[in-house]
Amino acid sequence: MSSHLKNAIKIFTIILAIYVASIPLAHAVSQPLVVVEVFSEDRVHLDIDDTTHVTRTLVIKNEIDKPIVPGVITLVLQKQSPEKIGPVAIPFTSVVKPLKVMNVTARMGDGAAITDVKVTETENSTIIQYGAWVPIEPKQTLTVVLEYDSPDIVEKGLLFSTLQYPFTSSSIPVEKAVVETSIKNGRVTYSSEKPVMNGNTHIWEKSSLGMDSWGVALEYSMLPLPLLPISGGTLLWGLILLICLIWVVWTYTRPRKGA
């Protein structure tokens, strides 16, 4: 048998082996994803004062025809802010840090306390884990409430303060995500999405979030300003720069005495 024929047989054997091995993988990829549970609602309420009190309410729904037990729920929290030289922020820079949390508690929707609450901090995130070891009957729901305080959510400024609350991507589909804010001393002057008002509470809602990420960024101030199309802080700095530019131009172009 010639060497060319032997090489051809080897190549054919390798191609055939790769094809046969890929059949189970292709079959597995083509199988539809079975959704066991969904978050029919993931609602976050932010009571904003010197610190921010967060209440996060999860409504877990059983999507199959057998009882399920949700188990451990994991929430990853991060804070993204600009790098600083002393108290001065450096424009167009960003650093991700763990979000500082305190007074972390969890309970069931009926008020029963959840005792297995664990908080750990890594280099760039804070992880809260708590258990929901209650069976959910087919097509029924279970409500779980997590609460904590954080001094880190709000970036406080002299006239304008900013915050951002993100929903990170989830392995469990989210049917509806909601962010609510109640601000003790101030009013919203800018937000990344237009809110709905309920009294003094601003509400943002995202339907059919699925496994995607989503977040709301907003700015508030004690000044009696309306909801602006751009950030008030940006407007303020733009005005300051404009005044400085006008002063420089006027200084160097005004008529000189005796000239």
* Whether the predicted pLDDT of 250 surpasses 80: no
Q: Are 200 and 191 in contact (CB under 8 A)?
A: no
Q: Which residue has the tokens 């083509």?
A: 30
Chain length of the chain: 259
The confidence score (pLDDT) of residue 20 equals 47
Q: How many CB atoms lie within 10 A of CB 125?
A: 16
Closest CA to 78 of 116, 126, 138, 15: 126
Calculate the CA 213 to chain-centre distance: 7
Q: Rounded mean pLDDT of the chain?
A: 82
Bigger pLDDT: 144 or 198? Answer: 144
**pTM flag (> 0.85):** no
Q: Residue 115 is encoded by which pair of tokens? A: 């005792």
Reported as a single tens digit per residue, the pLDDT across 93-110 is 677 889 899 999 999 999
Q: Are 42 and 176 in contact (CB under 8 A)?
A: yes
Q: Which residue has the tokens 């880190």?
A: 152
Q: Are 84 and 108 in contact (CB under 8 A)?
A: no
* Whether the predicted pLDDT of 84 surpasses 70: no
Bigger pLDDT: 79 or 10? Answer: 79
Reported as a single tens digit per residue, the pLDDT across 114-165 is 999 999 999 888 999 999 999 999 999 999 999 999 998 998 888 888 888 8
Burial (CB count <10 Å: 0-12, 13-18, 19+), residue 10: exposed
Bigger pLDDT: 175 or 14? Answer: 175
Bigger pLDDT: 226 or 11? Answer: 226
Query: If you average pLDDT over residues 194-220, what whole number do you get?
Result: 87
Q: Are 46 and 99 in contact (CB under 8 A)?
A: no
Distance set, CA 101 to CA 118, 143, 195 (Å): 12, 22, 26
